[in-house]
A = this chain, B = another copy of it.
Amino acid sequence: MRRIRKAVHAGYCWGVERALDIVHHTAETTNGPVRTLGPIIHNPQVVASLSEKGVQAIESLDELEAGGTVIIRTHGVAPAVYQQAQEKGLTVVDATCPLVTLVQNKAKQLVAEGYHLIIFGNPRHPEVIGTLGHAGGAATVIEHPEDVCQAKLPKKVGVVVQTTQETERVGALLSYLAPRCKELKVFNTICNPTIERQDAARELAREVEVMIVVGGKNSSNTRHLATVCREEGARTYHIEEPGEVQPEWFAGVREIGVTAGASTPGWLMDHVIARIQELEADNLLPA
């Protein structure tokens, strides 16, 4: 009998729960079309389910007529987007995670204090694009710690961090940055739910042979969860749905760990666990 263990912290964070409450409440209380600008969270299954209920994601504000309602995604947007929505006569409902708002504010603060701003994160991620907008576009985005060695920087540098980064990578960034600066002010804005999920995943990955990480392939925090599990030496699979589970992953395996990103609903993680148990009950897992 294989043992399946859930990470102590896994699945929805409060920022995601809050955003989904906002979406549901808005949909129920609004006449006329309600859209999210981009996916509200990085989970395709949840986004598809909202779409079926009439709340579709749009790529651009141009897809919505005046009088419509647009919901700002958890990852936030640049100030220019709020302005554009206002000019178009749209109602804006803001589901930006408060911990992302904090990053935006810290970025503004560092720029106001005269620091050259570094945003440490994925330059293609909406959170980073939004934060860059709040910083007035005056920032260097660093994706990989070692990239900072190539960046042209003044001696006074400020740093904010994408909420879903890995803590160890911030350390690596600063180890490259420290010899290049005279003054360095860092807001380590990785959010607590991210830290808790990474710590719990590390702990579990050390004790099991295989880790299953459930969540959007486009989800930054979920991808980092898979990375930390691999760093701890566990054979790790990042999947979105129960149907992706492959029986051969569990050949000779006695302990399986399961975790899920902050944008992954609990029912999806439970379905993955049920799927593994079902395969085992049906004698479909190799010995």
Q: Which A residues lie at the B interface, using CB under 8 A?
A: 167-168, 170-179, 181-188
> CB distance B187 to A176 under 8 Å?
no
Cβ 8 A contact of A188, one of B167, B182, B187 = B182
Which of A174, A183, A185, A188 has most B Cβ within 10 Å? A174
**14 contacts across the A-B interface (CB closer than 8 A):** A168-B179, A170-B178, A171-B178, A171-B179, A174-B174, A174-B177, A174-B178, A175-B175, A179-B188, A181-B186, A182-B188, A183-B187, A184-B185, A184-B188
Interface of A is mostly: helix
Residues of B within 8 A of A173 (CB): 178
Contact (Cβ within 8 A) B186 A183 = yes
The 5 closest A-B CB pairs, nearest first, are A171-B175, A174-B174, A167-B179, A175-B175, A184-B186
- In the assembled complex, how far is the CB of residue A37 from the closest CB belonging to chain B, in whole angstroms? 30
Write out the residue numbers on chain B whose beta carbons fall within 8 Å of the beta carbon of A186: 178, 181, 183-186
